[in-house]
């Protein structure tokens, strides 16, 4: 498994911490784009999304002030299913039911909280039940312009 991690200026401290902790057990790559008060979160999200979508068996971790903006931007990248997560249940369910490949977080967590959320996300397996596979396929088909059941 390969991990990619990045943030705009709002999440740099948490990314520093996560990177340091996760590199002990995982193959992780930090995406460093210039960070300052005027940086643009979509650029971080697009870069991370492109890397995750083109790297088999990979996950992305992205932070911004709230996690909302980067999750919206990540979901514009083909092949990305990004969830903005605020608790352990969210981190589990987005993997179990939606097989998300990117987790988006805000900067309002302690180091231990954010590490728990990320580890929950990357260690939870998709259920691969027929209903979940069917729904994920509908999303992928729509993204590819192939879903015609509206």
Predicted confidence (pLDDT) per residue in 48-91, tens digit: 999 999 999 999 999 999 999 999 999 999 999 999 999 999 99
pLDDT of residue 104: 98
Helices (H), the chain: 12-22, 41-54, 68-74, 88-96, 111-123, 130-143
Question: For the chain, how many structural domains are there in total?
Answer: 1
pLDDT of residue 36: 82
Whether 9 shows a pLDDT value over 70: the answer reads: yes
Residue at 148 is within a domain? no
pTM of this prediction?
0.94
* Average of per-residue pLDDT across 83-107: 98
pLDDT of residue 38: 84
Give the active site residue among 64, 82, 94, 100.
Answer: 64
Residue at 85 is within a domain? yes
Which residue would you say has higher pLDDT here, 136 or 33? 136
Residue at 117 is within a domain? yes
Residue at 149 is within a domain? no
Give the residue numbers spanning the domain of 138. 2-143
Residue at 47 is within a domain? yes
* Average of per-residue pLDDT across 13-38: 93
Q: Which residues, 6 or more positions from 68, have their beta carbon under 8 angstroms from its beta carbon?
A: 84, 104, 106
pLDDT of residue 33: 84
Which CATH number goes with the domain that contains 45? 3.40.1400.10
Dist. CA 41–CA 76, nearest whole Å: 13
- Whether residue 94 lies in the annotated active site: no
- Whether residue 126 lies in the annotated active site: no
Give the active site residue among 9, 97, 126, 132.
Answer: 97
Residue at 150 is within a domain? no
Whether 150 shows a pLDDT value over 90: the answer reads: no
Q: What is the mean pLDDT of the chain?
A: 95
């Amino acid at each position: 498994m390969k991990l990619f991690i990045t943030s705009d200026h709002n999440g740099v401290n948490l990314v520093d911490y996560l990177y340091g902790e996760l590199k002990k057990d995982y193959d992780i790559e930090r995406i460093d784009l210039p960070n300052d008060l005027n940086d643009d979160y979509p650029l971080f999200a697009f870069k991370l999304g492109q890397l995750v979508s083109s790297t088999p068996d990979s996950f992305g971790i992205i932070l911004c002030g709230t996690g909302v903006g980067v999750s919206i931007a990540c979901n514009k990248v083909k092949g990305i299913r990004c969830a903005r997560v605020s608790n352990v249940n969210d981190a589990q369910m987005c993997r179990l039911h939606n097989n998300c490949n990117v987790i988006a977080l805000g900067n309002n967590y302690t180091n231990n909280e954010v590490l728990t959320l990320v580890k929950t996300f990357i260690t939870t397996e998709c259920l691969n039940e027929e209903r979940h596979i069917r729904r994920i396929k509908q999303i992928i088909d729509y993204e590819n312009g192939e879903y015609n059941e509206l």
